[in-house]
Amino acid sequence: MQHAKLLSVLFLSAACLSGFTVRAQSAGGWTEKKAEQWYGKMDWLNGLSAKPANPINKEEFARQYNGNKAAWDKAFAFLKNTDFTRLRPGKYPIDDENVYATISEGPPREISKSKFEAHLNYSDIHYVVKGKEQIGIIPVEKVKSNVAQEYSADKDIGFYTTDEGKFYVAEPGIFYIVTPKEAHNPSNKVDGYDGVKKVVVKVRTIP
């Protein structure tokens, strides 16, 4: 009888440990090499013709995507299947507040290199559908000591100051993925492009 109880306890312990290990691997088991291999296959695009821009935290994106695949697939399907020339500026629910898009149109601002924003609850997909703009990106780790405005949980945004952010051109055909690991500075002017229409798809993050 005691032997049977011992076996039962050992079995339950092993099962719990196994379940914990599987969850840990699925949530945080991404190495740089593993993420690079997964990312490079581009299966996650699901036929979207627009391509991801190079500055991306592949390891964190792999973790976020595979931990919330259904939401990311809806986000990319929205970009793939939507005729944005027909949509006016505004907010467009895709999956309630789990995935939604905002569309804006107008003149970009004069470039301001010092103020970068970051989020905790959402990752962003920045996609310009008309015109060009500059977007700055820098790891939050590099700016976390330079807080310009404390994080607001209501607005899911905090601001940092830095002169070290790197700027890239956002234009039709490419998109930028920004996770909570990155601070970013979007909507900056590119000379010769006074009108920009862009989409930002927000995807709720996993812890």
| E strands, 47-190, in order | 51-52, 90-95, 99-106, 115-118, 122-130, 133-139, 147-152, 157-161, 166-170, 174-178, 182-189
Is residue 141 helix, strand or coil? helix
- Domain region containing 46: 42-204
Query: Would you place residue 127 in the very low, low, confident or very high pLDDT band (cuts 50, 70, 90)?
Result: very high
Q: Kindly report the backbone phi and psi dihedral angles of residue 48, in degrees, each rounded to the nearest multiple of 5, phi listed first.
A: -65, 130
Q: Are residues 49 and 22 in the same domain?
A: no
Q: Is the pLDDT of residue 129 over 90?
A: yes
> What SS3 state is found at 8?
helix
| Residues 198 and 104: beta-carbon distance below 8 Å | yes
Instruction: Classify residue 48: in a domain, yes or no.
Output: yes
What pLDDT sits at residue 89? 98
26 shares a domain with 100: no
- Together in a domain, 119 and 198: yes
Question: Angle 131-128-45 (CA atoms, 0-180°, nearest 5)?
Answer: 145
Confidence label for 112 from pLDDT (cuts 50, 70 and 90): confident
- The pLDDT of residue 113: 72
Co-location of 55 and 145 in the same domain: yes
pTM across the whole model: 0.85
Express as a percent the part of the chain with pLDDT over 90: 81
Provide CB contacts within 8 A for 12, sequence distance 6+.
Answer: none
Are 161 and 202 contacting, i.e. CB atoms less than 8 angstroms apart?
no
Q: Tell me whether residue 37 is in a domain.
A: no
Determine the average pLDDT of the residues in 28-49: 95
**Both 146 and 62 in a single domain?**
yes
| Domain annotation covers residue 142 | yes
| Average pLDDT taken over every residue of the chain | 89
CB 102 within 8 A of CB 75: no
**What local confidence, expressed as pLDDT, does residue 9 receive?**
34
Residue matched to tokens 């500059």: 134
pLDDT in tens, 144-184: 999 999 999 999 999 999 999 999 999 999 999 999 999 99
Q: Are residues 9 and 77 both part of a single domain?
A: no
**CATH code, 169:** 2.60.120.370
Same domain, 200 and 144: yes
Residue-level pLDDT at 25? 41
Note whether 127 and 157 are same-domain residues. yes
Q: Looking at the structure, tell me whether residues 75 and 167 fall in a common domain.
A: yes
- Say if 36 falls within a structural domain: no
> How many structural domains does the chain have?
2
Residue 68: is its pLDDT beyond 90? yes
CB count in 10 Å sphere of residue 39: 17
pLDDT for 16 equals 40
13/60 same-domain check? no
Beta strand extents in 16-120 (DSSP E only) = 51-52, 90-95, 99-106, 115-118
The pLDDT score that the predictor gives to residue 69 is 98
Regarding whether 49 and 16 lie in a shared domain, the answer is: no
Same domain, 65 and 97: yes
187 pLDDT more than 80: yes
Task: Please say whether the beta carbons of 124 and 200 come within 8 A.
Answer: yes
Please report the pLDDT score of residue 5 as a whole number.
42
